[in-house]
Amino acid sequence: MLTQSPKQAIKLENLQLTLGQDASRVHVLKGIDLDIDAGTSTGIVGPSGSGKSTLLMVIAGLERIDEGKITIANVDITNLGEDELAAFRGKNVGIVFQSFHLIPNMTALENVAVPLELTGTPNALEIAEDELKAVGLGERLNHYPGQLSGGEQQRVALARALAPSPAVLIADEPTGNLDGETGKQVTNLLFERQREKGLTLVLVTHDLALARRCDRTIPVRSGKIETTDA
Amino acid sequence: MPEQAQNANLRLALQFALRELRGGLRGFYIFLGCIALGVAAIGGVNSVAQSITNGIASEGQAILGGDLSFSLAQREITAEQIAFLKSQGEVTKLITMRGMARLPDGSDQTLVEIKAIDEVYPHYGSFDLSDNRSNSLKDNEVAAEPLLLERLGLKPGDRLEIGSSIFNLVAEIEREPDKVGDNIGFGPRLMMSLDGLAKTGLIQPGSLLRYHYKVKVDDPTQARIAAVSASAKEAFPDSGWRIRSRENAAPALTRSVERFSQFLTLVGLTSLIVGGVGVANATRAFLETKRPVIASLKSLGASGSFIFKLYMVQILIMAALGITLGLILAVMMPYGARYALSDLLPVSDGAQFFPAALAPGILYGVLTTLIFSIWPLAVSQETKPTELFRASTYGENRGRPKRVYVLALLFCVATLITSAIYFSDNRFISLVFVGATIFAFVMLKLVAVAIQFLAKNAPSVRSTPLKMAIANIHRPGALTASVTLSLGLGLALLVALATIDGNLRSQIENNLPEDAPDFFFVDIQNDEIEPFRSKLLEIAPQGKIISVPMLRGRVVSLKGIPSEDYKTVSGGEWVLQGDRGITYAKRIPENSTLSQGEWWPEGYSGPPLVSVSAEEAGELGLDIGDDITINVLGRNITAKIQSFREVQWETLGINFVFVFSPNTFAGAPHAHLATLTTNDAKNGNSDGTLLKELARTFPAVTAVRIRDALETVNGLISQLSNAIRAAASVALLSSVLVLAGALAAGNRERVHDAVVLKTLGATRGTLMRMLVLEYGLLGFSTAIFAILAGSLAAWFVISIIMNFTFVIQPTIALTTVATALLFTIVLGLLGTWQILGQKAAPILREL
């Protein structure tokens, strides 16, 4: 199943996707081709409705495409089933959301342990604790999301995404719900951890300053990539 | 998935579920209430029934009045037989019969259930009289139940005439240990000594009395009792006596309790199913709040089946909690019943925990939970993690449940139906009940669709509140389906039960046929019948008198098969149990018509022939030419079935299942039964005079006023219908709970609408009218459905099963509409009332 060079973490070929039904039918992705090297950071930018978030979902294996081929971490995920995709995601893709999406009735530690427990990792809680300490939340292990600030919640979300040591980390507007200063701290942490772990980072953002910190910026407009290099 | 991985998966689901449940019970109160109520109703009814059955079993000796009871109609046992019984233990002899108790001046009288006892009575238990003495009634003394004293205005010390003798009423009966073992009486109990009864002159050839011989076995082990019973049967095969042992002290009562509890279990099951709607609503609402969590978990690698397990575990934990609450209530019910029923029934005194009786509640509780939660769970596990990025921007994207979940749901429904039918004695009734519930469910769904269709296509109205109310009924996410479903089923059940009850009462109270007799007279001696008829005609010259010979007989065998081994086709067992009144006739009796076969010719003198009521013959699977053996006065008589008759039982005239050819009982001593139909007596004014006149000439004849007898039956129906209503109220309570939950779920949209409309200039009055109209229209439509569906079910029971004339009950219909309107409007407004008075801005900021 090896279809990309060892350097490539993500390879997208002629992605086509149409969403909605009848009158609300929208051709969201119109023939996207993209190669992303392992260990690099890529920022996807574009106006609202351009298809950038959908592109991110496709990379994460959350959205199925109508046509084309997706290869992530050397695995062709195009035709994987729903549960196979979930299992693949659990091991290979970490996701950070704009709205954090932590599980409210679980502590920070338990939230971080979830992806590890789902893959049957034996020492899930110890790994989760290490990850939380690495994002500076060693003192907040047993706090519930409701007891944490927005910045802290996003750091927990980052720790959760990184805990299974995925090959690819994707982030959807990771600072969108944070104030400027907190956003900056989370961004620093994101890039810091990405470099430390040698991950492939793909993020979607409206924030051009954030996008500029990436190794590469991909502008998307009307479901197409305008140019492959910033 | 390998078994080990599956177990790990389940363990993880349980671990995650426990973490998620830290959020507490919020959103689950209605869920818990619905399950708890249903389980409590089912478990409680069964526990009370078990308690009564245990009570009967544990007090078997006292209820039977001995270890073994031998009874015979109209005759004593032989000296040889009494010697046999005495060789097994101590014997007490009793005689029971009906008679008239009169004031010595003849001014008033009433029917009494006489029990004459010897000095040995009772073997077990205590016989208590109000003057603190037990059995020491002299032959001129009687004791009576308080009801007799109340009816005739007597007090201890007064005098009372029974038959042709005057007795001193010495005390009230406080406790008669073996009363429950006897059949339900039409009058209060009167106890006297055997010598006292002999003095009354009531014991005549053919009198309807029964002799009982109760044996206190010397070595009362179960094996010994069984051995005595077997050797009695073996030694005296043609004795005709009915033998009962302490193990089976009150078979009719035990059977009735079991059947009634099975019926109430079905009613309880309905309340559980009504509550199931609440379970579904609560599960759906709960899972709706969990969509982001489900999407998050799926984005982190959780499979759909893991999500299903995770939330199924939580739902089952909640169900377990609800079931536990229900079981606690159910366990408490027998204690309550002990206080409420102790005067009527032997409720067990011991521990009141009956695991087997609680099992159906647990089973039905779990099945209902599964049935009503599988679908929403299966839909939820299809939640797409893409929702974390965009909230269904491109339309609803929930997916359909996988086939495996649909199959699981169907399996649970099938298991519930099968269990409900399997655990019931009367499977036909259970089948009808289950069928009706499914039908009602489907109909309610259709009704909801119809209401929405009508609302959508209703002509435009000028009134703004009405326009908005109608719009609210058909808009997407309207309350219509949940309100009709939640309230409709409970109300329909209540209407059905109330209509059946009303019909039975009116059948008894108002629908007395024009030609129904006013009096039954029993124990008219053979040589008295003509003078009796003359006297009656003299007192009531316009009256119609019918008299027939009457004997008592026990069916020994049908078609050569002993009655205890005989398998009936569909009911009719009662014909084979105990003694039946039988008669003989030259011509076809009144109130019946020949439906098959021929009547015997006048002066017939061949082998005995019998005509059987067609309905019972059908139930028993009898054909023309079949043999019936009946034991009359200790003699087995075999007759061939010559004809079937359609009998109009509802006329309340004299009717018999078996009418024999006159030569069958030639020479046998017997009494006569007579009826008197007179319009004068129907108003009750001349009853007293008539009875007084008759009593003077025929003191041994017992008169039963039909209205008094009906009152007794009516009283019994009242008690039963109260129990049924109590069970049905649980269904209504579940309905209201579910309704409250459904309305609360729709509250957020109502508040949103109300606030937006206020900002657009709507006054509180307009909003109020809009809400009242919306809730009122929904409540009214549901009530109409409930009346139609409930009446249809009642019609089925009354007309098809019971063969009575069905009468629509307008009061019930009106009450139903009022109840539905009250519940929907009050519960609906409760949620929105406070909002109406608030300023819009703070709420708008929150919305």
Question: Given this model, what pLDDT does residue B2 score?
Answer: 60
- B386 closest CB neighbour out of A26, A57, A86: A57
Read off the pLDDT of residues B349-398 as tens digits, 9 standing for 90 and up. 666 778 888 998 999 999 999 999 999 999 988 888 888 776 544 444 45
Q: Do B19 and A106 touch (CB under 8 A)?
A: yes
Residue of A nearest to B24 (CA): A105
Give the per-residue pLDDT at A94: 92
The pLDDT value recorded for residue B395 is 43
Percent of chain B, pLDDT > 70? 92
- The DSSP element (H or E) to which B814 belongs, if any, is helix B810-836
Helix (H) or strand (E) holding A34: strand A26-37
For residue range B482-529, list pLDDT tens digits in order: 888 878 888 888 888 888 888 877 776 665 666 677 888 888 888 888
**Cβ atoms within 10 A of the Cβ of B779, count?**
27
pLDDT band at B25 (very low <50, low <70, confident <90, very high): confident
- Residue B839 has a pLDDT of 63
Would the CB atoms of A89 and B300 count as touching at under 8 Å? Answer: yes
> Which chain B residue has its CA at the smallest distance from A25's CA?
B394
CB B31 within 8 A of CB B352: no
Q: Do A90 and B302 touch (CB under 8 A)?
A: yes
**pLDDT tens-digit readout, B278-294:** 888 888 888 888 888 99
pLDDT of residue B91: 93
Chain A residues lying within 8 Å of B381, measured CB to CB = none
Place of tokens 């109508």: A66
Contact state of A63 with B386 under an 8 Å Cβ cutoff: yes
A17 in contact with B at a CB cutoff of 8 Å?
A: no
CA B321 to chain A, closest CA, distance in angstroms equals 20
Q: What are phi and psi of B598, to 5 degrees?
A: -130, 155
pLDDT at B309: 93
Distance from the B375 Cα atom to the nearest Cα atom in chain A, whole angstroms: 20
- DSSP E strand boundaries for B13-129: 68-73, 89-102, 109-117, 128-129
* Residue A120 CB partners (closer than 8 Å, separation 6+): B5, B8
Is some CB atom of chain B closer than 8 A to the CB atom of A101? Answer: yes
Q: Using a CB-CB distance cutoff of 8 angstroms, which residues of chain B are in contact with residue A118?
A: 12, 297, 300-302, 306
pLDDT of residue B396: 47
Residue B754: both structure tokens together: 């109300």
- The reply to whether omega before B122 is within 30° of 0 (cis) is yes
pLDDT at A229 (0 to 100): 47
The chain-wide mean pLDDT, for chain B, equals: 83
Task: Fill in the DSSP letter of residue B802.
Answer: S
CB contact under 8 A, B8 and A90: no
Percentage of chain A beyond pLDDT 70 is 96
Structural Rg of chain B based on CA atoms: 33
- pLDDT band at residue B681 using 50, 70 and 90 as cut-offs: very low
In this prediction, residue B702 has a pLDDT band, given cuts at 50, 70 and 90, of confident
Task: Decide if pLDDT at B685 tops 60.
Answer: no
Q: Which residues pair with B102 in a beta bridge?
A: B109, B161
Measure the CA–CA gap between B289 and B27, rounded to whole angstroms.
10
Q: Which residues of A208-219 are buried (b: 16+ CB within 10 A; e: fewer)?
A: eebbebbebbbb
Nearest-CA distance B780 → chain A (Å): 38
- Residues of A with CB below 8 A from B302's CB? 86, 90, 118
Q: Which of B8, B15, B301 sits opposite A90 (nearest CB)?
A: B301
**Torsion angle, CA of B481/B483/B486/B491, rounded to 10 degrees?**
-120
- Which of A58-62, A192-196, B633-637, B709-713 has the least mean pLDDT? B709-713
Task: Kindly report the pTM of this predicted structure.
Answer: 0.73
In percent, the amount of chain B with pLDDT more than 90 equals 20
State residue B774's pLDDT score.
86
A129 and chain B: CB distance < 8 Å anywhere?
A: no
Residue whose pair of structure tokens reads 């647990």 in the numeric block: B362
- B134 band by pLDDT with thresholds 50, 70 and 90: low
8 Å CB contact of A62 and B19: no
Nearest to B252 by CA among B579, B706, B620: B579
Region of poorest pLDDT, from B213-217, B461-465, B592-596, B725-729: B725-729
Instruction: Give contacts of B298 with chain A, Cβ < 8 Å.
Output: 86
CB A173 within 8 A of CB A208: no
Which contacts of B165-168 are long-range, i.e. CB under 8 A and separated by 24 or more positions? B165/B140, B165/B196, B165/B199, B165/B200, B165/B201, B166/B104, B166/B140, B167/B140, B167/B141, B167/B142, B167/B192, B167/B196, B168/B140, B168/B141, B168/B142
A117 touches chain B (CB under 8 A): yes
pLDDT (mean) for B401-405: 89
Residue B159 and residue B147: Cα distance in Å, rounded? 16
Which residues in B have their CB inside 8 Å of a CB on A?
5, 8, 12, 15-16, 19-23, 292-293, 295-306, 384-386, 388-390, 393-395
pLDDT per residue as tens digits for the range A128-158:
999 999 999 999 999 999 999 999 999 999 9
Contact A101 B384 (CB under 8 A): no
The better pLDDT of the pair B615, B841 is held by B615
> At A206, is the pLDDT very low, low, confident or very high (cuts 50, 70, 90)?
confident
Task: For B245-283, write each residue's pLDDT tens digit.
Answer: 887 777 777 777 777 787 778 778 888 888 888 888 888
Convert the pLDDT of each residue in B37-68 to its tens digit.
889 988 888 888 888 888 777 778 888 888 99
Task: Give me the pLDDT at residue B89, please.
Answer: 92
Q: Across the interface, do A118 and B12 touch by the CB < 8 Å criterion?
A: yes
Per residue in B520-565, pLDDT tens?
888 888 888 888 888 888 888 888 888 888 888 888 889 988 887 8
pLDDT of B512: 60
CB contact under 8 A, A90 and B388: no
Say if A80 is an interface residue toward chain B (CB within 8 Å): no
Q: Do A102 and B298 touch (CB under 8 A)?
A: no
